């Protein structure tokens, strides 16, 4: 059986991301792995704002950090000793599989099957699909429990 040293879970605030986080905690506990909880702020969503307002980005970053702090606390309460959080900016389709997995030497990347952005998924494909295609490590796509 493959042992995972570093597990990364990508979260966006969706219910599927919560389910993926729970699965990532189980895997990290079972493998005694470090856990990285990542949230990517998609800067493309700000491109349509005529006058770029830094306060919007600042609020998005604060919200992301608060969300990750909550997840980190939950992971530590479950007994995971090495938990890191990452807030980054850019396209989640690029940042997660191509940047974060290399930067943190990730063995397993876990994400929800769908996230918050339905319109993007319908027009240009899902983040989870891009992750599956481009990640240089094992990928686990977690579906929402009924």
Give the C-alpha separation, 89 to 41, whole Å: 5
Total H helices, total E strands in the chain: 6, 5
Domains and CATH numbers, the chain: 6-142 (3.40.50.620)
What average pLDDT does this structure show over 19-39? Answer: 96
* 77-107 residue pLDDT tens: 999 999 999 999 998 989 999 999 999 999 9
The secondary structure of residue 45, as a DSSP letter, is G
Give the C-alpha separation, 59 to 22, whole Å: 26
Q: Check pLDDT > 90 for residue 51.
A: no
Mean pLDDT computed over every residue of the chain: 86
* 138 neighbors 108 (Cβ within 8 angstroms): yes
End-to-end CA distance of the chain: 29
Backbone angles phi, psi at 5, to 5 degrees: -90, -35
- Confidence at residue 123, expressed as pLDDT on a 0 to 100 scale: 43
Pull the structure tokens for residue 48. 């349509």
């Amino acid at each position: 059986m493959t042992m995972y040293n570093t597990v990364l879970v990508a979260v966006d605030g969706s219910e599927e991301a919560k389910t993926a986080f729970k699965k990532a905690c189980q895997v990290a506990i079972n493998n005694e792995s470090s856990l990285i909880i990542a949230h990517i702020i998609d800067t493309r969503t700000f491109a349509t704002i005529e006058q770029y307002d830094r306060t919007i980005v600042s609020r998005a970053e604060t919200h992301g950090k608060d969300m990750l702090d909550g997840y980190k606390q939950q992971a530590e309460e479950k007994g995971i000793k090495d938990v890191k959080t990452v807030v980054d900016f850019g396209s989640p389709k690029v940042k997660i599989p191509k940047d974060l997995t290399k930067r943190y030497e990730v063995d397993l990347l876990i994400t929800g099957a769908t996230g918050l952005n339905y319109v993007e998924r319908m027009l240009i494909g899902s983040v989870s699909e891009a992750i599956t295609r481009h990640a240089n490590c094992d990928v686990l796509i977690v579906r929402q429990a009924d």
